[in-house]
Amino acid sequence: MADPELKKGLEGVLVAESSLSFIDGDAGKLVYRGYDIGDLARGASYEEVVYLLWHGELPTAGELDSFTDAMTEEMPVDEDVLAVAGRLADAGEAPMAALRTLVSYLSAEDPEADSEPSDLEAAARKGRRITAKVPTVLAAFDRLRRGEEPIDPHDDLGLAANFLYMLTGEEPDDVAAETFDMALTLHADHGLNASTFTAMVVASTLADLYSSVVAGVGALSGPLHGGANQDVMELFFEIDEADADPVEYVTRLQEEREEWRVPGMGHRVYNVKDPRAKILGAKSEELAEVTGEPKWFEMAAAIERYFDEEKGLTERGIAPNVDFYSGTVYYQLGIPIDMYTPIFAMSRTGGWIGHVLEYQEDNRLIRPRARYVGEKDCEFVPVDER
């Protein structure tokens, strides 16, 4: 029998069925459980979206209140968790590495940490605790590394507003809270991406949910998956410091650096502009008007126009992805740039957990094959004769 076709990186290989999210890369469309991402981002809270991903339908007002209240109750963390965050901060740990360790440590505080893998109701409760506590530990870590005391979550704020409050010590205004909530919704799920698939592979062994989320964090920490929004802002800082025209600057970098690509441009799945980039681009412009600092949005917009109108890259499938504008949004909200990928993880935790819960309903161990290309008939020689 002929060997099956090799699909490097599993590109295009179907390994599971899912009803969580659907992507049409040619039409630039993303839906969660059948709902257009634009409708959800503009009309639903992040908590509503997480409920939708986990339960398969949008909650009623009563169900949402109960779900949000339960999430809020789970947001505080014990002092020993904050002590671990402090040690990581003192050691100079990178935020994604700190998040990986802190999520793992949270299992020590979970009253259902030893529940059976087949108990999906217990897994869902663990998922709620993880999703609720990740913003708390991230904000605490950032404050501790800046020499400031952690702030307890506020009972009357949702997850998005609470994170900004715990990070800055000030309750965000309505525009900031709404914008950040929208950003979390836009990043909550995106099909079988690398980190989601990693979380599912771990879950398929019937490992606990904490192991799956830690694995997802690890996969997202790689520069080929997360981190492009930080790269975008670092590029914009370079342009600003050089007092250069943004289009001329990136054009020169392309000429000087072989195979250099503008960060945030192009996507593995989308052949047109990422629908999430359209939404965040508009929010970035709105924030620029509120803050009175339009240069970051204007840089992004100028580069996008150039590559679209002058270079025609959009017609060749190279257009802004969600990271191209999310960095400008986060920066205008006062978030440190090395926290951008951890925020991605904070949002995507809801999606990882949703996929794990869905997959474990009809679990099968994920076990692909590799084509062997090594020697087969080597003669063994004892060590003293080599």
Query: Which amino acid, one-letter code, is at 264?
Result: G
User: Among candidates 182, 183, 178, 180, which has minimal Cα distance to 167?
Assistant: 180
Helix, strand, coil percent content, the chain, rounded in steps of 5: 60, 5, 35
The confidence score (pLDDT) of residue 266 equals 74
The confidence score (pLDDT) of residue 256 equals 85
Q: Is 5 helix (H, G, I), strand (E, B) or coil?
A: coil
pTM, two decimal places: 0.93
Burial 294-329 (b: 16+ CB within 10 A, else e): eebbebbbebbebbbeeeebbeeebbbbbbbbbbbb
| CA dihedral of 53, 54, 58, 59, whole degrees rounded to 10 | -150
First CA to last CA distance, the chain: 38
Bridge-partner residues for 31, per DSSP?
22, 36
Q: Give me the average pLDDT of each 10-residue run along the chain (386 residues).
A: 74 89 92 97 97 98 97 97 98 98 96 90 96 98 98 96 97 94 97 95 96 97 86 94 94 84 80 89 92 92 83 66 90 94 96 97 92 93 95
The confidence score (pLDDT) of residue 291 equals 87
Q: What are the distances in angstroms from CA 165 to CA 31, 60, 153, 264? A: 30, 27, 8, 28
- Residues with Cβ within 8 Å of 183's Cβ and at least 6 positions away in sequence, in order, are 160, 280, 283, 326, 329, 330, 343, 347
- Residues with Cβ within 8 Å of 167's Cβ and at least 6 positions away in sequence, in order, are 139, 142, 143, 334, 335
| Cα 85 to Cα 108: distance, rounded to the nearest angstrom | 14
Phi, psi of 32 (to 5 degrees): -110, 120
Phi, psi of 24 (to 5 degrees): -110, 100
| Cα 355 to Cα 359: distance, rounded to the nearest angstrom | 6
The confidence score (pLDDT) of residue 35 equals 98
Catalytic residue numbers read: 225, 267, 323
Tokens of 213: 């989320």
Tokens of 333: 């909200």
The confidence score (pLDDT) of residue 12 equals 79
The helix (run of H) or strand (run of E) holding residue 31 is strand 29-32
